Chains A and B, each alone.
Chain A
Amino acid sequence: MLQQIIAIFIIVFFIFRLIKQKKKKDINNNEFSLWLIFWLLALTAIILIKQIDSLVAWLGFSGEGINFLIYLAVLALFYLVFRLQLSLAKLDRDLTKIIRHLSLNDKKEL
């Protein structure tokens, strides 16, 4: 119970920070919505941890609901790293285009 309360406080803290970032316009609407949904789902999962225990057992997994959530979190992290790598690759490609453009233009000007 105490762990649940601590977890809820941490999540609420992050939601407040998120709202602050949005007010300062540090993040756009899409990012705000994505992270708000993420933290609200986390909050729901913490509040309904007993029900998740039952759901996990019903699905046939051994272990507690919290373990299941950790597995899901690891999967989500892998996916986010993958997305990050793809966006870095796109940025890298755009950087090459700029360098190429500058290189060809320099030649034209000489």
Chain B
Amino acid sequence: MKIICVIPAFNEAKNISQVVAEVRPYVQEVVVVDDNSQDNTAALAEMTGATVLRHLINRGQGAALQTGNDYALKNDADIIVHFDGDNQFLAAEIPDMVKPLLENEAEIVFGSRFLQKKADFPPLKKYLIYPLAKIFTRLFLGIKLSDPQNGFRAFSRQAAQKIHIDNRAMAHNSEIQIKAFQQKLKIVEIPITVVYHEFGQKLSDGLKIAKDLLIHKIIK
């Protein structure tokens, strides 16, 4: 089983070496998609042993993930793991994410911050942004998952072939979940740990995600 981990990165020089080094023991290949960083993210990732793909123009996290998926599929990956480059996930949880795929219990696995494990959420996120996002995704997108915005996920090869990420920015999280449901894939959620180093997405980003999803639905 060839497992390739795709890490989108934009100006992550501070974290990328540590993230790549921690992920490498759990997968066969780490692919860092450098989304036109202005620092030395690409060089550091390469030095730590990752395969580096470079975007000539910054295209956003969703675009970087699809570039990584395309590379992984071309290079015979059986399982593709998406992992953030900002050191907020624990690499040691990759085997938990991959396990349902190896045991044929799932075709796609989503990490969730809202199951058993504790995540140290900023209060505004915990009490306002995530509940609103959850209501939006349930009511308007029909997604019944506990975590609507989580970047830690694992695909079987077949699932990655069926799901093409069109949203280049942050709406890709919801897009992947929507497509997983539309394709009737076997979905499993796994509790994961998230360590917040910065606030991340704001309420205004949530509104932008909703707008992006709508536009992509229309131009489809």
Identify the A interface with B (CB < 8 A). 85-86, 89-90, 92-93, 95-96, 99-100, 102-104, 106-107
Contact B166 A93 (CB under 8 A): yes
Contacts of A95 in B (CB 8 A): 57, 59
Cβ contacts under 8 Å, B63 to chain A: 96, 99-100
What residues on A are CB-neighbors of B51 within 8 Å? Answer: 107
User: CB within 8 A of A89: which of B33, B66, B216?
Assistant: B216
Interchain nearest-CB distance for A79 vs B (Å): 13
A99 contacts B59, CB within 8 Å? yes
Q: Report B's interface with A, CB cutoff 8 A.
A: 33, 51, 53-57, 59, 63, 66-67, 70-71, 74, 166, 168, 215-216, 218-219
Please pick, from B74, B168, B215, B218, the residue contacting A96 in the complex, using a CB distance under 8 A: B168
- In the complex, what residue of chain A is closest to B66 when comparing beta carbons? A100
Name 23 A/B residue pairs within 8 A (Cβ), A-sorted. A86-B215, A89-B215, A89-B216, A90-B219, A93-B168, A93-B219, A95-B59, A96-B63, A96-B168, A99-B56, A99-B57, A99-B67, A100-B63, A100-B70, A102-B56, A103-B33, A103-B53, A103-B55, A104-B53, A104-B67, A104-B74, A107-B51, A107-B53
- Give the chain A neighbours of B168 by CB distance below 8 A: 92-93, 96
Within 8 Å CB of B216, what residues of A? 89
* Chain A residue at minimum C-beta to C-beta distance from B62: A96
Bound complex: CA of A104 vs CA of B54, how far in Å?
Answer: 8
Bound state CA distance, A92 and B57, in angstroms? 12
Most buried by B among A86, A96, A102, A106: A96
Closest CB pairs A-B (n = 8): A100-B67, A96-B63, A103-B53, A96-B59, A89-B215, A99-B55, A96-B168, A89-B219
Closest to B167 in A: A93
Which residues from A are CB-within-8-Å of B66? Answer: 100
Q: Chain A contacts of B67 at CB under 8 A?
A: 99-100, 103-104
| Besides the known contacts A99-B56, A104-B53, 8 further A-B residue pairs in the complex with CB atoms under 8 A apart | A85-B215, A89-B215, A95-B59, A103-B53, A103-B54, A103-B56, A107-B51, A107-B53
A99 and B59 alpha carbons, distance in the complex (Å): 8
Give Cα A107 to B75, complex, Å. Answer: 12
Closest to A86 in B: B219
- A contact residues around B218 at 8 Å (CB): 86
In the complex the two chains form, is A104's CB within 8 Å of B57's CB? no
Contacts of A106 in B (CB 8 A): 53-54
Q: A102 contacts which chain B residues (CB < 8 A)?
A: 56
- For B211, the closest partner residue in chain A by CB is A85
User: Smallest Cβ distance from B41 to chain A, in angstroms?
Assistant: 14
A89 CB, min distance to chain B CBs, angstroms: 5
Q: In the complex the two chains form, what is the Cα distance from A90 to B215 in whole Å? A: 10
CA distance A90 to B216 in the complex (A): 9
A94 to chain B, nearest CB (A): 11
Min CB–CB distance A86 → chain B (angstroms): 5
